[in-house]
Amino acid sequence: MSRLFLFNKPYQVLSQFTDQDGRQTLASFITEPNIYPAGRLDYDSEGLLLLTDDGQLQHRIASPEMKLPKTYVIQVEGDVTEDALKQLRNGVILKDGPTKPAKARKIADPGFAERIPPVRKRDSIPTSWVELTITEGRNRQVRRMSAAVGFPTLRLVRIKIGPWSLEGINEGQYQSIQVNLPVPPRKNVQRPNNKASNNSTTTTKRHAPNQKRHSPKRTSR
Protein backbone atom coordinates (compact mmCIF):
# COMPACT_ATOMS: atom_id res chain seq x y z
CA MET A 1 0.00 0.00 0.00
CA SER A 2 1.19 3.51 -0.82
CA ARG A 3 0.17 6.88 0.50
CA LEU A 4 -1.47 9.30 -1.89
CA PHE A 5 -2.13 12.92 -0.99
CA LEU A 6 -4.96 14.85 -2.62
CA PHE A 7 -4.19 18.56 -2.38
CA ASN A 8 -6.46 21.44 -3.38
CA LYS A 9 -3.86 23.84 -4.76
CA PRO A 10 -4.68 27.53 -4.53
CA TYR A 11 -4.02 30.07 -7.28
CA GLN A 12 -0.42 31.27 -7.67
CA VAL A 13 1.20 28.39 -5.80
CA LEU A 14 4.01 26.42 -7.44
CA SER A 15 3.64 22.64 -7.71
CA GLN A 16 6.98 22.15 -5.92
CA PHE A 17 8.40 22.63 -2.45
CA THR A 18 11.13 25.19 -3.12
CA ASP A 19 11.59 28.26 -5.29
CA GLN A 20 14.59 30.52 -5.68
CA ASP A 21 12.39 33.45 -6.70
CA GLY A 22 10.43 33.53 -3.46
CA ARG A 23 7.07 32.48 -4.88
CA GLN A 24 4.67 30.53 -2.72
CA THR A 25 5.18 26.76 -2.85
CA LEU A 26 3.67 23.55 -1.53
CA ALA A 27 5.79 23.93 1.61
CA SER A 28 3.34 26.60 2.83
CA PHE A 29 0.59 23.98 3.01
CA ILE A 30 2.11 20.50 3.28
CA THR A 31 4.53 19.46 6.03
CA GLU A 32 4.67 15.73 5.27
CA PRO A 33 8.28 14.66 4.56
CA ASN A 34 9.49 12.78 1.52
CA ILE A 35 6.47 13.22 -0.73
CA TYR A 36 6.58 14.46 -4.29
CA PRO A 37 4.04 15.71 -6.87
CA ALA A 38 2.74 13.12 -9.32
CA GLY A 39 2.24 15.37 -12.30
CA ARG A 40 1.95 19.12 -12.41
CA LEU A 41 -0.54 21.96 -12.17
CA ASP A 42 0.39 25.38 -13.47
CA TYR A 43 1.19 28.28 -11.14
CA ASP A 44 -1.89 30.18 -12.30
CA SER A 45 -4.22 27.17 -12.12
CA GLU A 46 -6.12 25.79 -9.13
CA GLY A 47 -7.44 22.49 -7.92
CA LEU A 48 -6.41 18.89 -7.55
CA LEU A 49 -2.73 18.01 -7.33
CA LEU A 50 -1.65 14.48 -6.39
CA LEU A 51 1.46 13.76 -4.33
CA THR A 52 2.91 10.48 -3.06
CA ASP A 53 5.83 8.96 -1.18
CA ASP A 54 6.04 6.06 -3.65
CA GLY A 55 8.28 6.61 -6.68
CA GLN A 56 6.63 3.89 -8.74
CA LEU A 57 3.16 5.24 -8.02
CA GLN A 58 4.36 8.74 -8.87
CA HIS A 59 5.66 7.52 -12.23
CA ARG A 60 2.49 5.61 -13.05
CA ILE A 61 0.19 8.55 -12.31
CA ALA A 62 2.32 11.05 -14.22
CA SER A 63 3.10 8.75 -17.15
CA PRO A 64 1.28 9.54 -20.42
CA GLU A 65 0.91 5.79 -20.93
CA MET A 66 -1.56 5.66 -18.03
CA LYS A 67 -3.87 8.06 -19.89
CA LEU A 68 -5.68 8.99 -16.69
CA PRO A 69 -8.58 11.28 -17.59
CA LYS A 70 -8.29 14.73 -16.04
CA THR A 71 -11.37 16.89 -15.56
CA TYR A 72 -11.24 20.67 -15.43
CA VAL A 73 -13.82 23.34 -14.79
CA ILE A 74 -12.92 26.51 -16.65
CA GLN A 75 -14.42 29.97 -16.71
CA VAL A 76 -14.14 31.38 -20.22
CA GLU A 77 -14.59 34.79 -21.70
CA GLY A 78 -17.85 34.95 -23.64
CA ASP A 79 -20.97 32.79 -23.76
CA VAL A 80 -19.59 29.48 -25.02
CA THR A 81 -21.43 28.03 -27.99
CA GLU A 82 -22.40 24.49 -28.86
CA ASP A 83 -20.22 24.72 -31.96
CA ALA A 84 -17.18 25.51 -29.80
CA LEU A 85 -18.00 22.60 -27.49
CA LYS A 86 -18.30 20.30 -30.50
CA GLN A 87 -14.85 21.37 -31.68
CA LEU A 88 -13.41 20.58 -28.25
CA ARG A 89 -15.06 17.16 -28.31
CA ASN A 90 -13.70 16.35 -31.76
CA GLY A 91 -10.21 17.72 -31.12
CA VAL A 92 -8.68 21.05 -32.09
CA ILE A 93 -5.51 21.92 -33.97
CA LEU A 94 -2.74 23.37 -31.79
CA LYS A 95 0.80 24.36 -32.74
CA ASP A 96 2.09 21.01 -31.48
CA GLY A 97 -0.56 19.02 -33.35
CA PRO A 98 -4.23 18.06 -33.01
CA THR A 99 -5.64 17.19 -29.62
CA LYS A 100 -7.39 13.92 -28.92
CA PRO A 101 -11.19 13.93 -28.60
CA ALA A 102 -12.35 15.29 -25.26
CA LYS A 103 -15.51 15.50 -23.22
CA ALA A 104 -16.90 19.02 -23.04
CA ARG A 105 -20.12 20.50 -21.76
CA LYS A 106 -21.41 23.85 -20.64
CA ILE A 107 -22.32 23.99 -16.94
CA ALA A 108 -23.83 26.45 -14.50
CA ASP A 109 -21.65 28.54 -12.20
CA PRO A 110 -20.06 25.88 -9.93
CA GLY A 111 -20.06 28.23 -6.96
CA PHE A 112 -16.34 28.24 -6.26
CA ALA A 113 -15.06 30.71 -3.69
CA GLU A 114 -13.90 33.93 -5.30
CA ARG A 115 -10.33 33.73 -6.42
CA ILE A 116 -7.68 35.92 -4.81
CA PRO A 117 -6.87 38.03 -6.75
CA PRO A 118 -10.26 37.94 -8.48
CA VAL A 119 -10.79 37.13 -12.14
CA ARG A 120 -10.90 40.22 -14.32
CA LYS A 121 -14.41 41.12 -15.43
CA ARG A 122 -15.67 43.19 -18.32
CA ASP A 123 -19.17 44.55 -18.02
CA SER A 124 -19.70 44.32 -21.77
CA ILE A 125 -18.51 40.71 -22.10
CA PRO A 126 -20.22 37.82 -20.26
CA THR A 127 -18.42 34.73 -18.98
CA SER A 128 -19.48 31.10 -18.93
CA TRP A 129 -18.32 27.80 -17.44
CA VAL A 130 -17.20 24.63 -19.19
CA GLU A 131 -16.39 21.18 -17.82
CA LEU A 132 -13.64 19.63 -19.93
CA THR A 133 -12.12 16.13 -19.62
CA ILE A 134 -8.93 15.25 -21.49
CA THR A 135 -6.55 12.28 -21.52
CA GLU A 136 -3.42 14.18 -22.55
CA GLY A 137 -1.03 16.33 -20.56
CA ARG A 138 0.51 18.90 -22.89
CA ASN A 139 1.81 22.17 -21.56
CA ARG A 140 -1.10 24.54 -20.84
CA GLN A 141 -3.28 22.40 -23.05
CA VAL A 142 -6.69 23.34 -21.65
CA ARG A 143 -6.02 27.06 -21.98
CA ARG A 144 -4.77 26.62 -25.53
CA MET A 145 -7.77 24.51 -26.47
CA SER A 146 -10.30 27.04 -25.22
CA ALA A 147 -8.45 29.88 -26.95
CA ALA A 148 -8.36 27.88 -30.19
CA VAL A 149 -12.17 27.74 -30.29
CA GLY A 150 -12.52 31.43 -29.51
CA PHE A 151 -13.19 31.41 -25.76
CA PRO A 152 -10.07 32.27 -23.71
CA THR A 153 -9.76 30.76 -20.24
CA LEU A 154 -10.06 33.21 -17.34
CA ARG A 155 -9.98 30.68 -14.52
CA LEU A 156 -9.02 27.01 -14.43
CA VAL A 157 -9.77 24.53 -11.65
CA ARG A 158 -8.88 20.84 -11.94
CA ILE A 159 -11.48 18.82 -10.10
CA LYS A 160 -10.60 15.20 -10.90
CA ILE A 161 -7.72 12.91 -11.94
CA GLY A 162 -8.72 9.34 -12.72
CA PRO A 163 -10.82 8.12 -9.77
CA TRP A 164 -9.64 10.87 -7.40
CA SER A 165 -11.53 14.12 -6.96
CA LEU A 166 -11.55 17.36 -4.95
CA GLU A 167 -14.80 16.51 -3.24
CA GLY A 168 -14.69 17.47 0.44
CA ILE A 169 -11.26 19.12 0.26
CA ASN A 170 -11.14 22.86 0.89
CA GLU A 171 -8.71 25.16 -0.85
CA GLY A 172 -5.23 24.87 0.65
CA GLN A 173 -6.11 21.59 2.39
CA TYR A 174 -5.24 17.98 1.60
CA GLN A 175 -6.32 14.44 2.37
CA SER A 176 -4.14 11.35 2.67
CA ILE A 177 -5.39 7.97 1.47
CA GLN A 178 -3.94 4.49 1.03
CA VAL A 179 -3.92 3.10 -2.49
CA ASN A 180 -2.87 -0.17 -4.07
CA LEU A 181 -2.81 0.12 -7.84
CA PRO A 182 -2.59 -3.15 -9.77
CA VAL A 183 0.72 -3.94 -11.40
CA PRO A 184 0.51 -3.05 -15.11
CA PRO A 185 0.99 -5.95 -17.54
CA ARG A 186 4.47 -6.23 -18.96
CA LYS A 187 4.91 -5.39 -22.58
CA ASN A 188 5.52 -8.42 -24.76
CA VAL A 189 9.14 -8.58 -25.82
CA GLN A 190 9.39 -9.85 -29.36
CA ARG A 191 11.68 -12.71 -28.48
CA PRO A 192 10.10 -15.16 -30.97
CA ASN A 193 11.17 -12.86 -33.80
CA ASN A 194 14.72 -12.79 -32.47
CA LYS A 195 14.75 -16.57 -32.18
CA ALA A 196 13.40 -16.90 -35.68
CA SER A 197 16.13 -14.62 -36.91
CA ASN A 198 18.79 -16.65 -35.05
CA ASN A 199 17.37 -19.94 -36.31
CA SER A 200 17.35 -18.78 -39.88
CA THR A 201 20.97 -17.70 -39.55
CA THR A 202 21.92 -21.00 -37.96
CA THR A 203 20.05 -22.97 -40.59
CA THR A 204 21.80 -21.13 -43.37
CA LYS A 205 25.15 -21.91 -41.84
CA ARG A 206 24.26 -25.60 -41.52
CA HIS A 207 23.18 -26.01 -45.12
CA ALA A 208 26.50 -24.89 -46.59
CA PRO A 209 28.63 -27.65 -44.98
CA ASN A 210 26.08 -30.32 -46.01
CA GLN A 211 26.38 -29.29 -49.63
CA LYS A 212 30.18 -29.55 -49.47
CA ARG A 213 30.00 -33.03 -47.89
CA HIS A 214 27.79 -34.40 -50.66
CA SER A 215 29.83 -32.90 -53.47
CA PRO A 216 32.93 -35.19 -53.13
CA LYS A 217 30.72 -38.31 -53.04
CA ARG A 218 29.04 -37.37 -56.30
CA THR A 219 32.42 -36.73 -57.88
CA SER A 220 33.81 -40.17 -56.83
CA ARG A 221 30.86 -41.89 -58.45
Task: List, by residue number, the catalytic residues.
Answer: 42
| Neighbouring residues of 127: CB distance < 8 A, sequence distance ≥ 6 | 75, 76, 77, 78, 119, 121, 154
Amino acid identity, position 110: P
The answer to whether the CB of 10 falls within 8 A of the CB of 46 is yes
Task: Measure the CA–CA gap between 76 and 51, rounded to whole angstroms.
Answer: 28
How many CB atoms lie under 10 A from the CB of residue 127? 18
* Dihedral sign of CA atoms 106, 108, 110, 112 in order: positive
Task: Work out whether strand 153-161 and strand 46-52 pair parallel, antiparallel, or are unpaired.
Answer: parallel
| Cα angle 88-90-91, degrees, rounded to a multiple of 5 | 65
